[in-house]
A and B are shown apart, each in its own frame.
Chain A
Amino acid sequence: MSHHHGPRQPRDLSRRAFVRGGSLALLALGLPPDFLTRSLLAQPATSSAARKKTLICIFQRGAVDGLNMVVPFGEKAYYTRRRATAIPAPVRDGTGALDLDGFFGLHPSLKPLHELYGRKELAIVHAVGSPNPTRSHFDAQDFMESATPGVKSTKDGWLNRVLGNTDCADCTGRSLKDGAAHSADHAAGQTGMASTFHPALRGVAMGASMPRALRGQQPALAIADLERFGVGGGRDAAAQTAFERIYGTDGGDLVTDAADDAFEAARILKAANPLQYRSANGVEYPNGDFGRSLRQIAQLIKSDVGVEIAFADIGGWDTHQAQGAVQGQLANRFNELSRGIRALYDDLGDRMDDVVIMTMSEFGRTVAENGTGGTDHGHANCMMIMGGTVSGGRILGDWPGLEREQLYEGRDLNVTTDFRDVFAEVASRHLRTKNLERVFPGHTIAPAKFRGVLGA
């Protein structure tokens, strides 16, 4: 977050007038929100809004055991170092790992994702991680979210910097240094979605607080619950109206501008009508926070409110003890993860051609299991990248091997791909992010280092 910006652009009155005269007027007339919902959802798929690219990041907090997520069953050392926790090689009755390429296999609880791999819509990067040696969850998450390993003082998150260096698909390439200027571009009527656009909706995190990765200068929203976003939990229209009059001034300053934006965002989200949402094709999300987060992300994307980055967390990966093997603690987490992602994938349907889902976790776990049936903090891990444009059905990256002399500090999977090179590839090839040197300060970005997650 820089503390030095240029002066804010004056607010664009025509935009305000348009918004006020549009959806607000309808609400003021007492028309039911689902009227708006239908009109929003009814936008033709060929509109510019539908072509907007979206990246969904899923952070597996707590350091998932990547060696049991994408199992190197072709490695003898995997079975000599692991016994109680080892996933057997694929067998015909389907009890072992789900074969990917004859060497790697998915954990059996990831079956819903195995089908995506078969459709070549899931790519995996293995032995990916950070050059920093830390085994502290706190430090490693911080480094992954700032994308500046070893530098703790980075104030903003990498996804926020992505927002600041990605031209909105609907503008004529105008710089995004200033959110108000960006809004003004939309108000100038370049697209049909001006009334439903809000700069803060470009980056949305599901949860009560803004994750480190999305914090920074670019506006973004943390949404604990889509159904309760607004004044009085979105249920006190009179109070919102009163506050709109209290905040409404001609001048406009930091506080009143943000408030005006908030009223608008609340209106837009209300119009997306979270209460009436039905997922497509009878898709069912798993119960719990993770499933709900993903369902609300699908809702936002399908409402065409301009989401370019969505972020969700899933925890419970710190399996020091009794992590289980084909079944057990970790299998249960994989079950929730894969059912959730697959539900999101199927719910978004054709829209997955414009969406990429990417998983990440702060570091991997030890190759050897410990004395309590679990694994301890390790080094490299793996990431899954999914979507219609993903060059899937492949395991990417160099496999460093699991023999003792091949391990990091004699115990952990070595890093052969810097996680920032995967982030950078996805940002530049999917979101068309520019100025990658600003998004990943201190790291040399070169397409030659990209692993080909999204083709070349």
Chain B
Amino acid sequence: MAPHSNRWILGAATALSLGVAALPVSAQTPADSARALHLLSRASWGPRPSDIGAVLTMGANTWLDRQLNPENLADRDVEARLKLLPTVSLSMSELYRDYSPRPADVQAARKAQAMGDSGMAKMQDAMTPAERRERAARSPQRLHAELVTAKLQRSVFSERQLEDVMTDFWFNHFNVFFNKGQDRYLVSDYERSAIRPNVFGKFENLLIATAQHPAMLFYLDNWQSVYVDTAARALQNTGPLAARLRARGLNENYARELLELHTLGVDGGYTQADVIEVARALTGWTYEPPRAQQQGQAPQRPAGNRARAGRGMQEVRGKGDVPFVFRAQLHDRDEKTVLGQKLAANRGIEDGMDVMKIVARHPSTARFIATKLVERFVSDKPPADLVDHLADVFQKTNGDLREVTRALFTSDEFYSSEYRHAKVKTPYELVVSAARATGAEVSQSRRSIDLLRTMGHLPYAEPTPAGFPAMSEDWVNSGAMLNRMNFGLDLAGGRVDGVRIDASLMPRGETSTDVLLTAVLPGIDTKRLSQRISEDLAAQSGLTQRARLQRALGLALGSPEFQRR
């Protein structure tokens, strides 16, 4: 993190010139800047003061093209910032090793708890301050907080804005939940290895990456989905794991969500029978849990089964420190029919790979993904022409997400005036866009995390596989609106820890509300808002110039104008 003082001292001159002078004045028409603003408000996390000028200078399509090839964009600032968050770069097994609760601690805590409040108090008292710090540093809450902070850092500061926005979109599409057991140690890698590298690749590869990642295998239970008879036969009397597996049998959770949420969509033309067939095809798709590795005992592998394994019945191990494993002896080898296509008997991992291909290439999938993209990036009421167009591009390019994304942000419908400044920001978009608009320095911020939690939009904390909703109405209710206003007041008033607004927005000299509003809400008609803010300021007495600006900024960030993008 850059030291705060540096940015603070940047001072009025520099940043104010960024904020205001960089606004389009030269050859571009107001229509061009309005288009640039629209593109930035959808394909990035919201314009920084200098962004509109930059887009206008290079042209919207060049900007988009650069964003679609993020590997060519240096991102050293973000890299340096992430280095300050030690847990976010750790591997899954390192996180498990260093951050899962130690048996001794668990035991001590339970013992203390059993003695009631006095026991807990005694345990707290008995710990040295260093022990207390160490315990807090090892907690899952800490992992989560660093993960959220890393996400905020990228969203606010990354040059690779579109990649980050699409990473958010696809993570949410393939949502997993941090607080489900082992996922605490797996989610960080899931975003890093399965999602981010694939957002501009082929949809099918993204799908397979999520299907085979331990975070998803655990979250939707496929890791324990087994062919009952095979499992019972093969794992007889081999201990508690086998007993557990026997008791479970086929688990349809992942298969159902794969069809309903990840690919075809709920009305995509599949039946309950398809769900079961898909689940059968995916039996044996599991992973080697970090616990087993740590204790040096891989899950039991029954003897004598190898001989029965025919061609295609090999065990398959993925890469990585907590690898995907296809366990042939847990797989259902009978024939299956998925969405009308037969999968022959006596095969292994090929069954599941064929399912991935079938669902990724299904026309309903193209349409479902297209609709979801348009809902998030264009309008709550997706225009049918644009959905058709994107579905068409999806199918013609075999699910090339770079081309689908390009088609989205270059279409005429995208730029249609009725969609401008019409989507309500999600709470996460609100927080990030406020930080970007005010040139804020952001470090670990407990208040931001609390606020995101209160507003129901804390990253990695959505328990349902459907992910966070994208519709305006899902995020707008009375309590949420108060939180949004309070966030504006708190941010402007310097009451959000870890977030500090660029000093240039709060110059010492006389600055009118209008200058402030132009910087924070570029391209928006703020006449009415400006008037209301002036009226409020006129009614306040005894405020310093700085306090007046803070209040004006707080009202602006909490205004209905700032709630939309």
Contacts and interface: CB of A to CB of B under 8 A. Distances in A.
Contact of A153 (B257, B478, B554): B257
A144 to B, nearest CB: 13
Interface string A209-248: 1101001000111111000011111001011011101110
Interface stretch (A319-327, A343-351, A425-433): A319-327
A123 interface: no
A255 B489 contact: no
A208 interface: yes
Contacts of A209: 453-454, 456
Interface stretch (A40-48, A56-64, A96-104, A258-266): A258-266
A336 to B, nearest CB: 10
B535 interface: yes
A231 B486 contact: yes
B466 A409 contact: no
A142 interface: yes
Interface stretch (B29-37, B57-65, B105-113): B105-113
A212 to B, nearest CB: 7
Interface stretch (B139-147, B283-291, B408-416, B555-563): B555-563
A322 B110 CA distance: 7
A324 B114 contact: yes
Contacts of A215: 456
Interface string B439-466: 0000000000010011010000001111
A246 B488 CA distance: 13
Given A332-B117, A409-B247, A262 B478 contact: yes
Contacts of B464: 142, 152-153, 155, 212
A256 interface: yes
B469 interface: yes
A262 B479 contact: yes
A39 interface: no
B476 A221 contact: no
A246 B266 CA distance: 41
B228 interface: no
A152 B454 CA distance: 23
Given A153-B466, A245-B532, A245-B536, A258 B257 contact: no
A255 B469 CA distance: 17
Mostly, the B contact residues are: helix
Contacts of B535: 245
B110 A138 contact: no
Interface string B472-512: 11101111111001100100000000000000000000000
B261 interface: yes
A26 interface: no
Contacts of A245: 532, 535-536
A80 to B, nearest CB: 22
Contacts of B151: none
Contacts of B463: 138, 142, 212
A152 B257 contact: yes
A359 interface: no
A52 B6 CA distance: 60
A200 interface: yes
B253 interface: yes
B139 to A, nearest CB: 16
A243 B551 CA distance: 11
A332 B115 CA distance: 9
B489 A231 contact: yes
Nearest to A207: B454
Contacts of B129: none
A13 interface: no
A322 B114 contact: yes
B177 A255 contact: no
A324 to B, nearest CB: 6
B564 interface: yes
A17 interface: no
Nearest to A323: B114
Interface in A257-284: 258-259, 261-262, 265-266
B256 A258 contact: no
A220 to B, nearest CB: 8
A138 B462 CA distance: 11
Nearest to A208: B454
B260 A255 contact: no
| Interface-centre pick from B247, B453, B540 (highest chain A CB count, 10 A) | B247
A136 B478 CA distance: 33
A262 B482 contact: yes
B114 A255 contact: no
B339 interface: no
Given A210-B456, A232-B489, A255-B560, A153 B465 contact: yes
A332 B118 CA distance: 11
B179 interface: yes
A239 B551 CA distance: 9
A1 interface: yes
Contact of A242 (B181, B256, B532): B532
B478 A258 contact: yes
Interface string B175-199: 0010111000000000000000000
B424 interface: yes
Given A152-B257, A247-B560, A255 B481 contact: yes
Interface in B229-248: 247
A16 B360 CA distance: 52
A3 interface: yes
A309 B380 CA distance: 30
B253 A262 contact: no
Contacts of B453: 208-209
A88 to B, nearest CB: 19
Interface string A408-419: 010000000000
B478 A321 contact: no
A245 B528 CA distance: 10
A261 B476 CA distance: 11
B471 interface: yes
A324 B471 CA distance: 48
A243 B485 contact: yes
A142 B253 CA distance: 13
Given A153-B266, A322-B110, A255 B465 contact: no
A384 B110 CA distance: 27
Interface in B79-131: 106-107, 110-111, 113-117
Contacts of A254: 424, 472-473, 476
B27 interface: no
Interface of A: 1, 3, 5, 136, 138, 142, 152-153, 155, 198, 200, 208-210, 212, 215, 219-224, 229-233, 236, 238-239, 241-243, 245-247, 254-256, 258-259, 261-262, 265-266, 316, 320-324, 328-329, 332, 372, 374, 409
Given A152-B464, A322-B113, 15 more contacts: A3-B380, A152-B256, A153-B266, A153-B466, A155-B469, A221-B478, A222-B479, A246-B533, A256-B560, A262-B481, A265-B478, A265-B479, A316-B113, A323-B114, A328-B116
11 contacts: A138-B177, A153-B266, A200-B478, A208-B453, A208-B454, A245-B535, A246-B532, A247-B560, A254-B476, A262-B481, A322-B114
Interface of B: 106-107, 110-111, 113-117, 177, 179-181, 221, 247, 253, 256-257, 260-261, 266, 380, 424, 450, 453-454, 456, 463-466, 469, 471-474, 476-482, 485-486, 489, 529, 532-533, 535-536, 539-540, 551, 554-555, 558-560, 563-564
The 7 closest A-B CB pairs, nearest first, are A262-B478, A242-B536, A322-B114, A329-B114, A321-B110, A259-B481, A261-B478
